[in-house]
Amino acid sequence: MKVTRRDWLVWGAGATAGVVLSPVPWKLLGDTSIWTQNWPWIPQPARGPLEVKASACTLCPNGCGLRVRMAGGWPVGLAGLRSHPVSQGALCPLGFGAHQLIWHPARLRAVRHRGGASSWDEARAAFVKACSEGPVGIVDGFPGRAASSVFESFAQKRNGAYRAVLGPESQALTPYEAWTRVPARNLGFDLENARTIVSFGAPLLDGWGTPGRFSHLWAERAAGQSDPQLRLIHVETSLSTTGSRAWRRIVIRPGSEAALASGIARVLIEDKLVPARGPMPLLTLSQAAEQSGISADAIRELAHTMVASQPVIAIANDDNPAIAALNVILGAVGSRGGIVQRSKPKHSTISTADLRDMRAVLIDSSMPWEFVPETRAEVFRFAAWDGGPTRADWLLPTPALLEDLTDMPTAPASAIETYAIAAPLVAPPTGTLSAAQFLAEIDPAAAPVEKIIRARCDELLRGRAGTVHAQESTPVTNIATAEKLEEQLRNGGVWVGEPPRAAALRCDLKEWPAERPSKPSARSSAWAAPVLPPLATKLYEESNLLQPVPRRNS
Amino acid sequence: MARNSLVFGFGLLVALLAGWVGFPRVLYSRQNQPLAFHHKTHAEKSGSAQCNDCHTLAEDGKFAGIPSTETCAGCHSEQVGTSKDEAVLVNSFLKAGKPVPWKVYARQPANVWFSHAIHIRRANLECKQCHFSYGETDEVRVYEQNRISGYSRDIWGHSISRIRFTRHDGMKMNDCEDCHRQRHIEVSCLGCHK
Amino acid sequence: MSARYGMVIDLDRCTGCGSCMVACASENNVPSLPQASDRTGLTPMLVRRISNGKQDESRREAFVPILCMQCEHETPCVSVCPQQAVEVDKATGIVMQMPQRCLGCRYCMTACPYHARYFNWWDPAWPAGMEKSLSPGVAVRMRGVVEKCNLCHGRLHSAQEKAAGAGKREIDPADYVPACVEACPTGAIRFGNLADDNDPVSQETHSPEAFRLLARIGTEPKVFYKSKEPWVRALADGSGAEVKRG
Amino acid sequence: MASAALADRRWIARSEERSSLGRFLLWLAPWALLLAAGVYAGGLCLWFGLNQTNMDNRFAFGLWIFLDLSIIALGAGAFFTGFLVYILKRAELKPILNTAVVVGFICYSGAVTILGIDVGQPLRSWFTFWHPNTHSMLTEVTFCITCYLAVLSLEYVPILLRNRELRKLPSFLIFEHQLHKLVPVLAAVGTFLSFFHQGSLGGLYGVLRGRPFAFREGFLIWPSTFFLFILSAIAAGPSFLMLITAAVEKVTGKHLVAEDVYRRLGLISGTLLGVYVAAKSIDTLIWLNVTSAAAGVAPWRYYEYKPFGTPLLFIEIVLLGLLPAFLLTFRKTASRRGWLLSAAALACGGVLINRFVMTVQTLALPTLPFDEFLTYTPSWQEVASFGGVIGYGVILYSLSYRYLPLFAKPKGDQSHVSLG
C-alpha cells in the first residue's frame, strides 16, 4: 500500500500525543532544572570531618589567637581565640579571610632572580658568595622570635648588621630608651589601667596594636557613654574614624603635634596641675597655640581636662620625643596606667645599624613589601606572595601563615609579656623555605628554630613565673616538663608573664627635647603580607566602607 | 477513517514505547563499583549484624558514612582469598593508601543537609527505612547515574513514573516530605537545604 | 518552644572595622569577584558609613551594619516571591532564601527596603585551589539567583546535629552564634532569641535607645539597632533628614 | 526569482493588491537585521548571565521590565476591541479586530520572550507553575499572561487559516469554522484574563510597602495601582491601534478603515483616558497626604531628586493625560486626523511615562535615610534584545498584512468581516 503525505501527518499527530503521554518531556524538564542547581563548573565544599585547631596569626607582630576550622585537612574558616589574653577573641577584618591567602594567585612558588626564573641552589650560592665578600644585613619585621635570634647570631658571626624595623606602636616607645635605659621592646602602654588616653594621631580604633585590645577596652568603658570611665581624647590633623568615635576630638595643623604637647606641658607646669617632674618646654603657650592652630585657652582647657581623670597617658603615632616628654611631665612613665616595663626583660637589642655599607641584605618575609632598604647591596627578599614591582634582586618563596613553625613573642606596646607558638597546620608548597631555614642550611652550626623554641619553653619553665592561658589557665609551676609546656603552646596556649611592676621603671629627663614635627613611621601598617585576602574586596571594592587599596589585592 | 486511526495508533504506540522503555536506558549511565563488596559475607565473617558497627554514628552526631580504608585494612592488611578484587583492594587502595572511590547510591547533592543523628537518635528510624535491605544482600548493584542531573538513580527511584511498587523506592525531596507529613513534622526549606 | 532569633546592634560600639563583613563572606562561601563593584557585589553583611554631615570638629560618624532584617510582619520578600523560594521559618523566625528554588526574577530585591538582598550576577569563582577553603556548612550559590543573610543557618544545622547526637531536643544557645556576631571585636552585634523574655538581647530591644530601621513601614524587623545619639536614632524614620551618607 | 514571485502571488488573496516580492523583502531587510542583533544580544544574556546587562542590586529591574509593562499596556487594544465587538456588540469596530489580535499577539509574545531572558534561571521558570505562591502578584501575572498568550494564539489561528493557500485544505477550513464559533468565547476569556494581569502588573508595584514611593492602599487585596493600570491600558490600547493602522495606511498608501472607526476609537480612548486621569489624580493626592505619611516618609522629598521630580508628575498627568483626553473627545479636534493621531500618540506616551515612573523612578529613589538617588544606563545588550522584539513585531505584522485578510474591506461579503 502507498504511504501518503496525509499518513505521515496523522502518524506524527499520534507520535506527538504519545510523547506527551510519555515521561520524556516531563523528566527532561525536571532534570534540566536540577542540572542548573548543580552546575558542574560551580565548586562545592569538600565532604569530610570538621576539626577545630587553635593557633596564632603570623601576619603581623600582634600574633592574635586563631581558632582554625579545618575540613578535609584544609583550613576553611578563621575566628578569634577567646582564651588569648591580649587579642581576646578578636581579629582584624583581614585576618578573617587570611586562610584563603594560602591559595592567593600571587603566591610565590619558585625562586626568582631579577624577574627571571632561578633556583634555591643559585640563590644559596649567590648569598654564600656575598657573605664571603662582605658584611650582610638582615632586616626583621617581627623582632623577638626564634627566627630573629637566628638572624641576629648569623649577622653577628658575619660581623654584619641585624636590623628590626618597628611599627608605630613600638616606635612611640623608643624615646624612653634613653631616659629609662630600658629597651623600647620591653616597655608597654598600660592602657588597661588608664582613665584618660590622649592620642596624638594614633589610630587607636582604626588598626593600632592588637585589634582586640583597645577596642575591647573602649567598648566596655567608653562607647556611647557621655561621661565614660575611659576618656579618649583624639588629636588629629585630618578627620579620622577614631576621632569621630572619641570622647573629644581636637583638630590641629599637620605636624604640630609636638608644639601642642609642649603647650600642654607648659600649662601643666605653670598651673601646677602636676608636681614639677621635668624641664619646662622651650615653646611658649602662645607659640604652641600659633603653631598648632588652636587657641591658647583651648590648650589650657585641654590640659585641665587631661588631668581631671587620672591616670592619664599620651600616645604618639611615631617616635616624637615631645609627646614622650609630655608623658614624663604627666608622671605617666613608670606609673600604673602609663608607660610600664614588662615583667621579663629580653636580652635581644634593637640595632638601628644602617645597611648602606652592606654587601648583601636579607629581608625577612615579616617586612612589609613597601620596605626598601637604603642600600646598593644585593637584596635577598623572602616573601610568600609577590607584591608587584620590587627592587630586590632575589625573590625567595617562603611558607605562608598556618604553614610554618613560628613563635610569637609579646605584641608591640602590650603591657604584659606573652609567648605563643604558631605550629604548622598544613604542609607548605614544595620549594618554599623560610629565611631562618635558609640561613640554617648555610650555617649548619646555627641552632634551628625548633631548638630555640624548645630552649625558650625550657627557660619559661625554669622561670617558674606566669601562667599558660588555654581552655583553662595553668600556672607554669603546675607544668611538669618543657615538652608539656611546648605542646600546650603549640596547641594554641599562650604563656602570660606576671603583671608589670610599674614602679620598677625609673626615668629622668634632663632638658626638654628639641622640637621637631611628627613624621610618618617607616611602616605604616602592621600588615606584613604584600597582598590582601581576596575577601578584602568586600571592604574595599564591594562596599564603600574603606577607600580602595589599588595594588594590594592584585 | 479506520486507516487513519490505525496510523495514529501506530504513531502513538511507537512514541509510548520509546518514551517508557527506551528513554530510561538512555537517560541513565550504568557504572560498576570499584570492588565487588558483599555486605552479607562481611556481616557473617565479622560477626557484626548492626549497620552502625561499620557505618558508625559518633556521640557528637557525626555520621562516618562508608568506612575508611583503615577499617578495611583491619582484616585485609594482606590478601584474604584469591579473588581479583581482593588483589585490587589490597594493592591499589590499601597499600597505595588511596581511598576506595565508592559510588554512593544514596548520595544527595551539595545543597542538601541531612543529619543521620537526628533521624536515628531522635526519630528512631531504622536504616532500612531509607536504605532498603541492601545491607543484607550479597548483590553488587550497578550504580546508575542520571546523565543530565548527575544524581544517582536511587534519588528519583527506579520506576520512571514514580509510581512505587515497593515502599522503598526513591529518595527525592517528595519522599522526605511524605515521611515528614505522615509524622506531622514541619520542616522549612533550610531545615534540609544549605 | 519556637524561637524568634534576632539581633541588637549597638551602633555606639561599632567602629566600622568590617570584620563582620569578611567573617560573614568566609562563613557563607561568598565569592570575591574582581569584576564586582559596590553595586553588583555580594555582601550579605554590609557596614555602611553615615555622618551628621558636618566637616569640622563637630563631625560625628556612625557605622550601620546592614544585613537581612528578618522582618516578622508583612515580610516584603516572602509575599512577592512567585514560587515560594522565600519563607519565614515558623520554628526560628528566620527569613529563609532558597537559591535552588529561586528563578532569579529579583522581585524580592525591589521589595526589600533595606537593600539586604543580592543577586549573583556572575558565576561564583575562586582562584585555583582556593575552593578547598570553602566552608562545609553552606552550599555555593550559582549564577542567576538571589541570596541574602540566612543568619548563618549552617551553624544552626551543626548545633542541631550536636544536640541530636547527645539525644537532646533543644540546641545549646552557645552552639549557634552567627559569624558576624562572633567576629565583632567590640561586641556591638548581639544575637539572641527575642521570644525568650529572659534573654538579655530580647530585653535590650525594649530599651528606649533601641530602634528599627524604617519602623513605620510596619515590617517589624527582628534586627534592632541602638544608640544614645539622637541623630543616629533618627535612622528609625524614613525621612531622617539629619543623617548623611558617608 | 520569477518562479518565487509567482509562488508568492499564489499565497496573496486574489482580491488584494500587494507590492512586488522584491520590494517587500527590501522592506523586511532592516527589520530582519534588528531581529538578528536582538537574537545575538539575548543569546549573550542567556549564555553569560545577566552580568551582560547594566542592572545591579539596587536597580534589580531595568529597561526590560519598563518596556514589558509598556508593550503589554499598549497591547491591551487586542482584548479591549474584542470585548467591545463581542461583549458590547460594537460591530463598527470589527474592521480593526484582526489587526488588534495580531498586534496583541506580537506585544505579548515579545514581552514573554524578554521576560524569559530577564530571569536569572530561565530553565527553572516553570517552578512558578509547579510551586506557585498564590499571594504574589507576579504569580498572577505569569499565569494570566501565559494563558492570555495561548488565547491570542487561538484567536490568531483563524486569521491564519483565512490564507488563500491554507484555505484549500478542507480539514483546515472546517477547523477554522469551528474555531470561529469559539472566537466570542475566547474574547470573553481574554477579557477576563487581561483585566487581571493588566491589574496585577500595577499591583506588582502597588504592594511594595518597602518602596513607599510605589506603595498604595487599595481595595481588598488589590492596591489602587491595580485598577489604574487596567484603566490606563484600556485607554491607551485603542490609541495605539489607531497609530498602528494609520502607520500601515501611510506605508502601504492604502485607505484601510473608515474614518468613523478612527473617531470611534478616539472617543473611547479619550473618555477612558479622562476617567483614568481623574482616578490617577485622586490616587496621587491620597498618596501625598495619607499613604506616604503613614509610612513615615516626606512625600515631596521624592520629588526633589532630578532629573525626575515634579515636572515628570506634571507631564504624566496633565501634558500626556488631561490634554490628549481633551483632544480625543473634543469634536473639533477629534474630527481632524492630524489632531486625532497626535493626541493618540500623546496618550500612548502618557502610559509609557506612567510605567517608567512606576518601575524605574521607584527603584532610583532612596528608601533608607542614608541611601543615595541612583541612576542606571542600560547596556547595549539590553537595548538590542528589545530592538529585536520590535524587529520581530514589524516582520510578523508585515507578513500577516501581506498574506492574511487583516483589514476586511468596507464592502464585500460579511462572512469575511465577521472573521475575527
Torsion D167-D170-D173-D175 (CA) sign: negative
User: Which residue from C64, C106, C238 is facing D60, i.e. has the nearest CB?
Assistant: C106
Quick check: A27 and B23 CB within 8 A? Answer: yes
User: Which residue from B110, B121, B193 is facing C167, i.e. has the nearest CB?
Assistant: B121
Q: Does A36 touch chain D (CB under 8 A)?
A: yes
Count of alpha carbons within 13 Å of A100, Cβ hemisphere only? 31
Residue A123: band (very low, low, confident or very high) from pLDDT cuts 50, 70, 90:
very high
Nine cell digits for residue C20 = 563582620
Q: D378 by DSSP, 3-state: which?
A: coil
Task: Report pLDDT digits (tens) over A372-408.
Answer: 888 889 999 999 999 988 889 999 999 999 999 999 9
Quick check: B15 and A49 CB within 8 A? Answer: no
Quick check: A34 and B151 CB within 8 A? Answer: yes
List of chain C residues whose C-beta atoms are within 8 Å of the C-beta of residue D130: 83
User: Which residue from D136, D215, D370 is facing C243, i.e. has the nearest CB?
Assistant: D370
- The answer, yes or no, to whether residue D148 has pLDDT greater than 90, is yes
Residue pair A515/A283 in contact (Cβ under 8 Å)? The answer is: yes
- The answer, yes or no, to whether residue A270 has pLDDT greater than 50, is yes
More confident residue, A529 or D138: D138
Residue pair C236/C215 in contact (Cβ under 8 Å)? The answer is: yes
The stretch A313-334 carries a mean pLDDT of 92
Q: Does C165 touch chain B (CB under 8 A)?
A: yes
What domain range is D24 assigned to? 17-418
**In the structure, do chain B and chain D come into contact, i.e. share 3 or more CB pairs under 8 Å?**
no
Residue D6: band (very low, low, confident or very high) from pLDDT cuts 50, 70, 90:
confident
Residue pair C103/C83 in contact (Cβ under 8 Å)? The answer is: yes
Q: Which residue has the cell 543580592?
A: C118
Quick check: B23 and A22 CB within 8 A? Answer: yes
Task: Report pLDDT digits (tens) over B157-189.
Answer: 888 888 877 666 889 999 999 999 999 998 999
The predicted structure's pLDDT at residue C186: 95
Q: Residue A355 — φ and ψ, nearest 5°?
A: -100, 10
C-alpha torsion B69→B72→B75→B76, nearest 10: -70
Q: Which of residues 167-226 of A touch C (CB under 8 A)?
A: 205-206, 211-212, 215-216, 218-219, 223-226
* DSSP character at residue C87: E
Residue type at position C163: A
Quick check: B188 and C91 CB within 8 A? Answer: yes
With a pLDDT cut of 90, the percent of chain B lying above it is 41
Residue A371: band (very low, low, confident or very high) from pLDDT cuts 50, 70, 90:
confident
Quick check: D57 and C109 CB within 8 A? Answer: yes
> What total number of domains does chain D contain?
1
Nearest to A177 by CA among A333, A311, A331: A333
> Using CA atoms, how far apart are residues D81 and D186, in angstroms rounded to an integer?
12
Read out DSSP for D126-146?
THHHHS--TT-HHHHHHHHHH
Residue pair D83/D187 in contact (Cβ under 8 Å)? The answer is: yes
Task: Report pLDDT digits (tens) over C64-95.
Answer: 999 999 999 999 999 999 999 999 999 999 99
Task: Report pLDDT digits (tens) over C163-179.
Answer: 998 888 899 999 999 99
> Using CA atoms, how far apart are residues C137 and A50, in angstroms rounded to an integer?
10
Nine cell digits for residue A104 = 592567593
Domain locations in chain B?
28-35+103-194
The predicted structure's pLDDT at residue D411: 44
Quick check: A18 and B19 CB within 8 A? Answer: yes
- The answer, yes or no, to whether residue D410 has pLDDT greater than 60, is no
Task: Report pLDDT digits (tens) over A38-59.
Answer: 999 999 998 877 899 999 999 9
> Using CA atoms, how far apart are residues A29 and A46, in angstroms rounded to an integer?
29
- Tell which phi-psi region holds residue A137, choosing left (phi > 0), alpha (psi between -120 and 50) or beta: beta
Q: B112 by DSSP, 3-state: which?
A: strand
Task: Report pLDDT digits (tens) over B77-112.
Answer: 888 878 888 888 888 888 888 889 999 999 999 999
List of chain B residues whose C-beta atoms are within 8 Å of the C-beta of residue C85: 189
The predicted structure's pLDDT at residue A524: 55
Buried b (16+ CB within 10 A) or exposed e, A232-263: bbbbbbebbbbbbbbbbbbbbeeebbbbbbbb
The ipTM, to two decimals, is 0.92
The predicted structure's pLDDT at residue A4: 80
Kind plus residue range of the DSSP H or E element containing A395: strand A394-397
Work out the minimum CA distance from D52 to partner chain C, whole angstroms.
9
Q: Does C211 touch chain D (CB under 8 A)?
A: no
The stretch A274-285 carries a mean pLDDT of 86
The set of residues, in sequence order, having a beta carbon less than 8 Å from that of B91 and lying 6+ positions away, is none
Q: ∠ CA A462-A467-A472 to the nearest 5 degrees?
A: 140
Give the Cβ contact number of residue A464 at 10 Å.
10
Using CB atoms within 10 A of its CB, is residue C1 exposed (0-12), middle (13-18) or buried (19+)? exposed
Quick check: D57 and C74 CB within 8 A? Answer: no
CATH code assigned at C185: 3.30.70.20
Interface test with A, best of C56, C57, C121, C180 (most A CBs within 10 A): C57
Residue pair A182/A331 in contact (Cβ under 8 Å)? The answer is: no
Work out the minimum CA distance from B177 to partner chain C, whole angstroms.
16
Q: Which of residues 30-49 of A touch C (CB under 8 A)?
A: 36-37, 39, 41-48
Task: Report pLDDT digits (tens) over D271-318.
Answer: 999 999 999 999 999 999 999 888 888 888 888 888 888 899 999 999
The stretch D220-233 carries a mean pLDDT of 92
The stretch D408-414 carries a mean pLDDT of 47
**Which residues are A250's β-sheet partners?**
A235
Task: Report pLDDT digits (tens) over A22-33.
Answer: 999 999 999 999
The predicted structure's pLDDT at residue D418: 32
Residue A551: band (very low, low, confident or very high) from pLDDT cuts 50, 70, 90:
very low
The predicted structure's pLDDT at residue B82: 81
The predicted structure's pLDDT at residue B42: 85
Q: What is the CATH number of domain A170-345+507-540?
A: 3.40.228.10
Read out DSSP for A92-137?
-TTGGGGGGGGG-TTB--S-EETTEE--HHHHHHHHHHHHHHS-EE
What domain range is C193 assigned to? 5-245
Residue pair C205/C8 in contact (Cβ under 8 Å)? The answer is: yes
> Using CA atoms, how far apart are residues A384 and A402, in angstroms rounded to an integer?
12
Residue D414: band (very low, low, confident or very high) from pLDDT cuts 50, 70, 90:
very low
Q: Using CB atoms, which chains have 3+ pairs under 8 A with B?
A: A, C
Give the Cβ contact number of residue D11 at 10 Å.
14
Task: Report pLDDT digits (tens) over A512-524.
Answer: 888 777 776 555 5
> Using CA atoms, how far apart are residues A424 and A440, in angstroms rounded to an integer?
19
The predicted structure's pLDDT at residue D416: 37
Nearest to A327 by CA among A381, A268, A383, A270: A268
Residue type at position B175: D
Read out DSSP for D330-363?
SHHHHTSHHHHHHHHHHHHHHHHHHHHIIIIIHH
Q: A332 by DSSP, 3-state: which?
A: coil
- The answer, yes or no, to whether residue D104 has pLDDT greater than 50, is yes
Interface test with C, best of A426, A538, A546 (most C CBs within 10 A): A538
pTM of the model: 0.93
**Which residues are B28's β-sheet partners?**
B146
Inter-CA distances, B103 with A96, B34, B149, B154, Å? 36, 8, 15, 12
User: Which residue from D211, D369, D371 is facing C110, i.e. has the nearest CB?
Assistant: D211
Report domain A50-103's class: mainly beta
* Prior bond of A499 cis (ω within 30°): no
Q: D256 by DSSP, 3-state: which?
A: coil
Q: Which residue has the cell 541623630?
A: C231
Q: Does C60 touch chain D (CB under 8 A)?
A: no
**In the structure, do chain A and chain B come into contact, i.e. share 3 or more CB pairs under 8 Å?**
yes
The predicted structure's pLDDT at residue D412: 40
Nine cell digits for residue C106 = 529579583
- The answer, yes or no, to whether residue C239 has pLDDT greater than 70, is no
> Using CA atoms, how far apart are residues B192 and B189, in angstroms rounded to an integer?
6
Domain locations in chain A?
50-103, 170-345+507-540
> Using CA atoms, how far apart are residues D407 and A264, in angstroms rounded to an integer?
95
Give the Cβ contact number of residue C100 at 10 Å.
23
Q: D266 by DSSP, 3-state: which?
A: helix
With a pLDDT cut of 70, the percent of chain C lying above it is 96
Quick check: D126 and A32 CB within 8 A? Answer: no
Torsion C55-C60-C63-C64 (CA) sign: negative
Quick check: C113 and D56 CB within 8 A? Answer: no
- The answer, yes or no, to whether residue D100 has pLDDT greater than 70, is yes
Task: Report pLDDT digits (tens) over D360-399.
Answer: 999 999 988 888 899 999 999 999 999 999 999 999 999 9
Nine cell digits for residue D28 = 523586511
List of chain D residues whose C-beta atoms are within 8 Å of the C-beta of residue C39: 56-59, 374
**Which residues are C65's β-sheet partners?**
C47
Whole-number average pLDDT of chain D: 90
Q: Does A8 touch chain D (CB under 8 A)?
A: no
- The answer, yes or no, to whether residue D408 has pLDDT greater than 70, is no
> Using CA atoms, how far apart are residues D198 and C34, in angstroms rounded to an integer?
41
**Which residues are A50's β-sheet partners?**
A71
CATH code assigned at D80: 1.20.1630.10
Q: Give the residue ranges of DSSP H helices in A295-448.
A: 296-308, 321-330, 435-442
